[in-house]
Chain A
């Protein structure tokens, strides 16, 4: 649906909404006044929608420079009494963990919801940490929706719960909550308080050790209330499927949906304890459930978070109930669940035979299709130029720290230029460590948004501590991988106010770095020359490779209707295959007779292949 429909949808309308869309609607109905984020899959659409509708909704929204700053921006607005949200992917909460931990001590005045989106199976992530443990170490209460409808309800209700306890709440989603669609009936858009006021009160807001000790006591008191809230929360409920069930399932999040569907499809009889407020847990409710079941299976994705709590309760109450989950190997701690995993576990748990109706087809070797850099992608051109420059400089053993963004796809051949990766902004710091440890040539790649996010600190470190490597800032003028969000390098309209761009070149020069060169990677020769110059120097050098993301420029071109397509002159083509094997734009294809062609539907018209063709056989074929 269109972002505007999320704001303008009327009470009683039924929409087929994405989990992230439901989160925005729920927040708006709950009186959202203030929001901040750094984009990250699977949470990104929340920000994309707010970017479009915050202004007409009268809500403040910003894409902050990183998750830590977003947390600080939103937490302090909430301290001023405004209902606020901050949202990020699971690894983003690591970045924001420092302010988050303490915001639980200071507490909040306006409802404050911290949405964290986990990515079991790592569809778009570097790890699959279970962020529910952040509720444990911070002591923030936590809500865990199972589907878009519940996400919508929890956002709406969450503000009230947060204000009641004066504590921030974690709202933990996963990919299969954030990125599933289901039918949600909209409610009334509430009134909202948009003007905050800050009441000075140092013992409440300033956690110097003397005050922090009292704050921790106060937090423990609030947690007693939070536990009572959990015992009576409608998000924690018992239900039954089938006849006279004696065996129980305790479940949360999207795993619950698989349990329900499998039980229905296979006519199973189960008592189900479905938990939605999962910190603090409703211990009395769980104890009662355990007393009434002979056996209990815990169905939760990733870590045995519920299971370990349930085992503690069983032990404390000396209950003789057979508990199964991750610790006995029924389920794995890895990867997201699906109906098959849950079906097999449930059938085994209930001692029923496994079923399989999958058809047998002749196995065929299918070509792998990993995600690749797009046709016209400026990163491919930069990687190509770096490769040529290394060859010309006779450097064979260079090492390439990479970072988080589309350019990580440079790991694929023929670029093969991603050797080490940790997290957002890491390539500047890892460039330091690898170059110092090995003494080898190191080229560290980082995107523009990632550079602002946290790379800049690593680059300052590299300068100050005399590290020697080449940092390449791949400035494609957007935050591409997560869906083209703006970043501080761009001038853009935010909430109706034009935001001034930060000049990367000026910023890097201000650090004191001597060799700073900005190139256009679509000019192959100039880019190769810059790389050769930088590689001939000792110390720290920076190349800013600037060219707008091809997807963004294609969108602009589509509007103007003008398009250039390249083709291959078959009579002069020597079939050297440099274009196919060394540049490898997805628009190229080889016919069975060995001739190379360009797929006109895919060609972006970037001209880079025409510049690198040794026989100059690639030229403009068509202007549309």
Chain B
């Protein structure tokens, strides 16, 4: 059977989602796989929701159909929840558990839901969910900015993720500037270990 993976990455403008997508595409080429991906640019990037959809394998179109995501990678828990229309029972969800509070909440026009409840709801519906504290692990790796690579590492530990850890690390080396590489490799490692442990439990 042909290797394939349909992936939805969601978060908020400024979280480094485009960098992660670029690394994934580079890793796919590294393994000789075809990849198609769709990005969001322009207005939506100003603190709005950013969604990247990526299909690795024998695909032509850049968008993932409802219920067809193999993995949902959430950089922000409420946004991961919002995109669950892409999920079926086979979908694995990996999400950062640290919320980014939207202005609608800080000015008192909306409420932010309880993150643990969101995760519980996902589990109750039969989804496999791994929660990662990307902010904490990124700081531990040496830079709060490396949360995106923590999430990438966490996703790489899933059993249905088809790219090898070696090609992911090769892609990191190609796409991250040498100055920041060590911190990012560490962030990748911490994310990977965190998700592997939770996956085992």
Given contacts A42-B42, A180-B37, A406-B46, contact A413 B109 (CB under 8 A): yes
* Cβ–Cβ contact A258 & B81, under 8 A: no
Q: A258-B61, A581-B108 are in contact. Are A358 and B67 (CB under 8 A)?
A: yes
| Interface of chain B residues 91 through 128 with chain A (CB within 8 A) | 91, 101-113, 117-118, 121-122, 124-127
- Could you say which residues of chain A place their CB within 8 Å of the CB of B85? 358
Instruction: Provide the residues of chain A in CB contact with B40, threshold 8 Å.
Output: 123, 179
Of the four ranges (under 10, 10 to 19, 20 to 34, 35 or more), the interface on chain B belongs to 35 or more
Asked if B176 lies at the interface with its beta carbon under 8 angstroms from chain A, I say: no
Residues of chain A within 8 A of B41, CB atoms compared: 41-42, 44-45, 124, 179, 483
A364-B81 Cα distance, complex, nearest whole Å: 9
Decide if A371 touches B46 in the complex (CB within 8 Å): yes
Mark B70-81 against chain A: 1 for CB-CB distance below 8 A, else 0.
000000001101
Q: Which residues of B contact A483 (CB under 8 A)?
A: 41-42
Q: Are B103 and A412 neighbours in the complex by a CB distance under 8 Å?
A: yes
Report whether A584 and B103 are in contact in the complex, using a CB–CB cutoff of 8 Å.
yes
Please state if A343 and B65 are interface contacts (CB–CB under 8 Å): yes
Q: For A424, list chain B residues within 8 Å (CB).
A: none
Q: Are A367 and B110 within 8 A (Cβ)?
A: yes
A471-493: contact bitstring with B at CB < 8 Å (1 yes, 0 no)?
00000000001110000000000
A339 to B85, CA, bound (A): 13
- The residues in B between 124 and 172 inclusive whose CB is less than 8 angstroms from any CB of A are 124-127, 144
B33-77 vs A, Cβ < 8 Å mask (1 yes, 0 no): 011111111111111110000000011111111111000000000
Instruction: Judge whether B105 and A367 touch: CB under 8 Å.
Output: yes
A180-B62, A257-B60 given; A18·B106 CB < 8 A: no
> Contact at B63–A258, with CB atoms within 8 Å?
yes
Annotate A357-385 by CB proximity to B: 1 below 8 A, 0 otherwise.
11111101111111111100000000000
Chain A residues in 8 Å Cβ range of B43? 41, 123-124, 371, 481
Q: Are A123 and B106 in contact, with the CB atoms below 8 A?
A: no
B8 CB to nearest A CB, Å: 12
Which residue of chain A lies nearest to B52 when distances are taken between CB atoms in the complex?
A181
Q: Does A590 contact B (CB under 8 A)?
A: yes
CA distance A18 to B67 in the complex (A): 26
- Selected A-B contacts with CB under 8 Å, 24 pairs: A1-B22, A15-B29, A16-B29, A42-B41, A179-B41, A181-B36, A262-B65, A339-B61, A357-B68, A359-B87, A361-B87, A361-B121, A367-B112, A368-B104, A369-B49, A371-B44, A372-B47, A414-B107, A482-B42, A483-B41, A577-B108, A580-B106, A584-B107, A601-B144
Could you tell me which A residues sit within 8 Å of B by CB distance?
1, 14-16, 18, 41-42, 44-45, 123-124, 147, 176, 179-183, 254, 256-258, 260-262, 264-265, 338-340, 343, 356-362, 364-374, 406, 409, 412-414, 481-483, 577, 580-581, 584, 586, 588-590, 601
Beyond contacts A358-B88, A364-B117, A371-B45: 4 other A-B pairs, Cβ-Cβ < 8 A, are A357-B68, A358-B67, A371-B46, A581-B107
The 3 A-B pairs of least Cβ separation, nearest first, read A41-B42, A124-B42, A371-B48
